[in-house]
Structure 1
Amino acid sequence: MPQRSLKLARCLLVLVPVAAWAAWLGWDQHRDVHPDGSVTGPYEAWQVIGLVVTLLAPVYWAASRRHVADAVLATTAGLTAAAFYDWSDDASGLFLVGVGMVMTASLMATFALSVLIASVTRPGRRSEPGPTGA
């Protein structure tokens, strides 16, 4: 892959998680108060699942092309930055614990997934003429 295309792909690999976070989680800031007084939220399980499923495509794309480090680091950086921005208005400062958990979990999950994808997909090969030139 040419150097310029690789730089563009890396930028996109960082921007896709940020955009996916905004699309799936960024708009929901409402916490649910239950009759017993407990509070949950702001995210529902389907939102987090949607985020994870959305991120499978760029991670697969990069890992299947043997860009495992790019897949892992860009996805982790994008999710960490999005979580930091989204949660930074928390006055208690505990949002940093959550951001650290997002960073750690995304790093471990994308690493394991990328290594698995890279090991089961065949490296992309351009079609080359056979020994007879055909």
Structure 2
Amino acid sequence: MWAAWLGWDQQYDVQPDGTMTGPYETWQVIGLVLTLLVAVYWAASRRYFVGAVLGTTAGLTVAAFYDWSDDDSGLFAVGVGLVMMGSFAATAVVSAVAAAVTDHRQRPPAAHYRPS
């Protein structure tokens, strides 16, 4: 998903006031997040927690490392670490929510006790 949403836009944009933005546009990052949100929710709702959390985290971390490793300053390692920690935390939360929601939907209603 990284390559599909972020991999093709590698140019920084220079604004009229001289500031630089980019290389990614806001809509690209939002698209990546929403796409991964759907995939993580789907996997976690089917009890594939390890794949949902660790698979997404590993995939994003490797993609960020590959995409940013040509940075000569070495600061890409900080960014990759932040991607790793953020994606781990976010996918863990989404997985927990998905598990709670689907567990609630799948449980039959409790039988009411009626004394005779």
Instruction: Compute the TM-score of the two structures, normalised by the length of structure 2.
Output: 0.85
Cα drift, residue 58 of structure 1: 1.9
Deviations 1:79-101 (A, max 9, x none): 00000000001011101111111
Tell me which residue corresponds to 1:24.
5
Taking the aligned partners of 1:33 and 1:24, their CA distance within structure 2 comes to: 21
State the aligned residue count. Answer: 106
Where 2:6 maps in the other structure, the secondary structure is helix
Specify which of 77, 80, 99 is matched with residue 118 of structure 1.
Answer: 99
Specify which of 41, 59, 76 is matched with residue 60 of structure 1.
Answer: 41
Alignment of 1:35-46 (within 5 A): 35-46=16-27
Cα drift, residue 57 of structure 1: 2.5
Deviations 1:57-109 (A, max 9, x none): 22112101112222110000000000000000101110111111111111111
Specify which of 87, 93, 100 is matched with residue 74 of structure 2.
Answer: 93
Q: Which has the larger radius of gyration?
A: 2
Cα drift, residue 53 of structure 1: 1.1
Instruction: Compute the TM-score of the two structures, normalised by the length of structure 1.
Output: 0.74
Q: Structure 2, unaligned stretches of length 5 or more?
A: 107-116
Taking the aligned partners of 1:60 and 1:36, their CA distance within structure 2 comes to: 42
Cα drift, residue 36 of structure 1: 1.9
Which of the pair has the greater relative contact order for Cα pairs under 8 Å at 6+ separation?
A: 1
Q: Structure 1, unaligned stretches of length 5 or more?
A: 1-19, 126-134
